[in-house]
Amino acid sequence: METKTDETAAEDARTEDAATEEAVTEDGTARAAATEDASGADADADADADADADAKTDAEAAGPSGVGQGAGAVVSVALGIVSLTGNWVGTVAAARETLVGQLRTSSTASVSQQVKEVYGDAWHTTALWAGLFALVALVTGAVVLVRPAFGAPGRPQAPWIKSVAWAGVALGVIGLLLAVLKYSDALLGLPPAS
């Protein structure tokens, strides 16, 4: 009887060992599954981080964002407006020319000579400075418009940049035309002194 009991005890021990192994295997499988889930989540996070890094690299490789071109277009418009409305440099230069004309002109000079020296040269100086601002506005707008052809030909320019640059070019042309007309006395010339 003792042998049967020993055999039964041994069998029971084997059954317990098998159950323990099975539990360990199930626990190991569960742990492995949990580890795979965690490593899968880490892999997904790593893939997302890599995708973000690749997107940033692609954006950097694609070229500039157009901020400089936008700023150039706005500067072109501003210079065009300044050429039409007047500027501080032109005002100071005209005042200086008026003073120089007064100092050079004697009191015995004719009225037409005094008008030309005191007012005409100042008027031409104002027109000259307006023309310079208009020319810079025109050139800046034109450079912004042709920049994509030399920088990144495959990358289109934002529509607002084109619109503002064209406005700068138009204001530059108008300002330059008016400056030439003022300088040549074709527009608002000096009145004749009689």
- Would you call 156 helix, strand, or coil by DSSP? coil
Please check whether residues 151 and 77 belong to one and the same domain.
yes
> Do residues 78 and 120 share a domain?
yes
Q: What is the mean pLDDT of residues 129-145?
A: 93
- Please name the helix (run of DSSP H) or strand (run of DSSP E) that holds residue 1, with its range, or none: none
Same domain, 83 and 159: yes
Q: How far apart are the first and last CA of the chain?
A: 153
Residue 160 falls within a domain, yes or no?
yes
Range of the domain at 19: 1-62
Phi/psi for 188 (5° steps) reads 55, 50
* Percentage of residues of the chain with pLDDT beyond 90: 25
Q: What percent of the chain has pLDDT over 70?
A: 62
Same domain, 13 and 31: yes
How big is the CA angle at 53 (ends 51 and 54), to the nearest 5 degrees? 60
- 181 vs 113: which has the higher pLDDT: 181
Rounded to an integer, what distance in angstroms lies between the CA atom of residue 36 and that of residue 53?
25
Tell me which DSSP letter residue 116 carries: I
Number of structural domains (the chain) is 2
Whether residues 87 and 6 share a domain: the answer is no
Pair 89, 166 in one domain: yes
Are 73 and 168 in a shared domain? yes
Question: Which of 10-19, 42-51, 161-170 tops mean pLDDT?
Answer: 161-170
Helix ranges (DSSP H) in the chain: 2-62, 67-85, 88-104, 111-115, 121-150, 159-183
Residue 68 pLDDT more than 90? Answer: no
Instruction: Report CA-CA distances (Å) from 168 to 72, 90, 156.
Output: 9, 20, 20
Angle between helical axes of 67-85 and 121-150 (0-180°, round to 10): 160
Q: Which helix (H) or strand (E) holds 110?
A: none
Residues 116, 27, single domain; the answer is: no
Residue 176 and residue 142: Cα distance in Å, rounded? 14
**Does the predicted model carry a pTM greater than 0.85?**
no
Q: Do residues 32 and 100 share a domain?
A: no
Q: What is the mean pLDDT of residues 34-58?
A: 57
Say if 193 falls within a structural domain.
no
Nearest to 161 by CA among 43, 67, 31: 67
Q: Is the per-residue pLDDT at 154 higher than 60?
A: yes
Residue 155 has pLDDT above 80, yes or no: no
